[in-house]
Every structure is written in C-alpha cells, then in structure tokens.
Amino acid sequence: MRLSEGVVIVGESIAGLTAARELRKRGYDGSVTMIGREPEGAYARPPLSKGVLRGAASESDLAYLHADLDLVHVRSAAVALDVTSRTVTTADGRWVRYGALLIATGADARRLARPAQEGELVLRTLADARLIRDRIEQARSAIIVGAGFLGLEVASACVAHGVEVTVVDTEPPLLRHLGSYTSERIAGHLTRHGVPILQVDGAVRLVGDPVAGVALPDGTTRRADLVVTCAGDVPTVSWLSGTGLADSSGVAIDHRCCTSVPDVYAAGDVAYLRAGDGGRRAPFWSNAVAQGTVAAASILGASPPCPPIDDYFWTEILGLPIKVVGPMPVHGDPALIEGDVSAGDAILRWESPGTAPTVMAYGRKIAVRRLRSMARQADRVDHAEASRSRQK
C-alpha cells in the first residue's frame, strides 16, 4: 500500500463519505480526495423519494456536512481508471493519482426508453426528484413502471398530491424484495387507497416522444400526464472499462471490500459480494454504510470492524411505514410477535433453518435498535429450542 500518495474516493455517496469519516476516525491524516459528479456534493438520498416529492420545503438541508474531514474535492465525473499508473481521469480533464482507491460510484437508474426517445423520468438524484415533483404538481394522472420500493414511494407521492396513479409491473408489489406474505398485504393496502396494480406478463415499452404512456404486452396503450420508470438500477461502472474490475453486476468485492486489484476497494451500490462472501448485490443505504466502514478499515490494513452486509431497510407506502431487519426475501407466513397486521400495526418474525431470523415492523414506528434486539432474541430462542430438541 502506498498511502503516502493518498486515498482517492470516487463517488460522493453515503458509502464514500462514510469511508472518509472512518479513515479520519481511525487517525489517518494523509490526503483524502473525493471525486464526484454531483454539483452540490454529497446529500442524503433516502428523502428524495419521500419528503422531497411532497414539497419544496423539505429539500433544504439535505447536504451532508463534512468540513471537519479535510477532504479535497474534485466535482467532475470520473471517466477512466488506469490501475497500472494508478490514475483516475475526470470529465474535466484532470488526472488524479492514488495510493489506495475506493470505488463508490453507486448506481444509475435502469432506463426503458429507446435511444433518442426523450422525456423518460427516473429517480436517483436531487435533480431527478425536483423534476418529478414539479411534474406531479401539474399532473392529473400518472403511470409508474415498477412496483418495487421506489415505484411505490413515487406512487404514494402521487396520491398525496391527488394524482390518479397506476402501477405497472410483471410481478406483484415488492414480491421479490419482501416475499409473498407482505406482498399480498401491500397489494391490499394499495387497493384500499385506490391505487391499481396492473400486473402484465411481459415487457412494457414507453410510448411517445417525449414519453407520454406505456405500451403493454397485450397490445394496448395507456397514456398519462406523468410516466416514471422505477425499474431498478444498474451499477455505475462505465468508467472502469478495460480494468477487469467490473462486470454487468458491478464490482466484485470480498468481505473486506477488496476487489481483484491490489489497493483498489469498492463499497455501496456499485459493489457486489463474491459468491463465497454472500454472493449478492444489495443496494441499500445500510449496506453502503457498512461497506464504507469496512473499506476504510481495509485501506488502513485493519481487520473489518463489522460485516459488509447490514440487513436493515425501510420504506413507507401510503402512510404505512415498514422496517425490516434480517435476510430478505422471506418465504411463508410469519409468526405474529405483537399487534395486528390487518390494523397496520404489527411486529412479524420469519424463521428459516440456517439463517438469521427476519423481523419486520409493519405499520409501526420503531427504532432499529429495538428491531435488532427482537431479531437477536428470536435467534436465541431458536438456538435454545434447537438445543432442547437435540437433547431429546
């Protein structure tokens, strides 16, 4: 490691900023350069699909403050990496040399528009959120393509603005993320709020130029004042071409956030854990924080202070907050720990052999610490039961 040449972090993201903070916390006093394409610098993204879509007032103060970290900022996109000369090239023509490099460029929205078809709306950045909010304020009807977390959060914002909204997907809402039990209940929740879920059996095409509707697999077309694509994300890796670091799934890392190239690390939405280390990409805020923390420790040659996966995430769908701790998706019916699911106020637990339990707060506001402690208690109960049954 040539730390005397400094640490370069590409991506002013929560993963990148967490790593910078952890480097300083661990006493690293060398140079830390952050290369980022966002003109405003780093800001909190979770509120973009919630508060920011509700009204302009809540977009103030989203910026993450980091004056205490003594960072050098390069506010231009990284466009190329040369691992031999250890240099990152930026869009504005700078070459930045590194001793250690952290790839934290996150992901871009997956788009459905044809090349040159204009007006597709997606939601990843503050600029995207501002544009969608302005359009929601003008719209009377909306179509959301994709019934994942993001699609349902945008649909919720449409309902809050009195916009008639339809959600289109090939699968029931959140099925892939949360499993069938929760998916069915969310579908009911959406129906009760007058949000139709249009389940289709094939690819949806955007129509109009600019985009003004969707063509469905059955040959029909639906038009709306506002069409938003919420069809997942793709890791931001084009700047890594030719390095062998990235494939279509992103940048492969091990449990220490090391890539296949010495002194090059990756964290957050851009990264996925190699098969032996979890074998998946989990683009959620809490994983980005965990991986940023782990990457900083690895850069300094320390052992990882935590696992590179932190299974905590949350959403809010039409006033129904959901918080989950543990592996997802889950299968089958959960045990009811507290409350009443039909009243939208419950704590649920799923258990499956060989993995940690999953605990969900369904419609109940609860601190993550309590949820984690419930998951741990569930785990202990399981172990106690397992050891009793072995003794029999």
Nearest distance from residue 7's CB to another protein, in Å?
18
- Compute CA distances 17 → 6, 11, 66, whole Å: 16, 8, 8
* Binder of another protein out of 41, 46, 278, 304 (CB under 8 A): 46
* Binder of another protein out of 27, 29, 68, 342 (CB under 8 A): 68
d(CA 249, CA 281): 8
User: Is 366 a residue that touches another protein (CB under 8 A)?
Assistant: yes
User: Is 370 a residue that touches another protein (CB under 8 A)?
Assistant: yes
- Compute CA distances 352 → 78, 341, 380, whole Å: 43, 21, 14
Inter-residue contact 1 to 263 (CB < 8 Å)? yes
User: Is 344 a residue that touches another protein (CB under 8 A)?
Assistant: no
CB closer to another protein out of 58 and 138:
58
* Binder of another protein out of 26, 58, 209, 244 (CB under 8 A): 58
- Helix then strand then coil, in percent of the chain rounded to 5, is 30, 25, 45
CB closer to another protein out of 14 and 378:
14
**350: Cβ–Cβ under 8 A, 6 or more apart, which residues?**
179, 326, 330, 331, 332, 334, 335, 357, 358, 360
* Binder of another protein out of 63, 127, 302, 384 (CB under 8 A): 63
User: Is 368 a residue that touches another protein (CB under 8 A)?
Assistant: yes
CB closer to another protein out of 195 and 289:
289
Size of the site for another protein (CB under 8 A): 30
CB closer to another protein out of 47 and 213:
47
Task: Give the binding range for another protein (CB under 8 A) out of 31-39, 98-106, 226-234, 285-293.
Answer: 285-293
* Contacts with another protein, 310-339, as mask; x by CB under 8 A: ----x-x----x-x----------------
Q: Which of residues 211-270 bind another protein (CB under 8 A)?
A: none
Place of tokens 């932190």: 310
The b-or-e profile of 319-337 (16+ CB within 10 A means b, else e) is ebebbbbbebbbeeebeee
DSSP structural state of residue 270: G
Binding interface with another protein (CB under 8 A): 17-18, 21, 25, 43-44, 46-47, 50-51, 58, 61-65, 68, 285-286, 289, 314, 316, 321, 323, 365-370
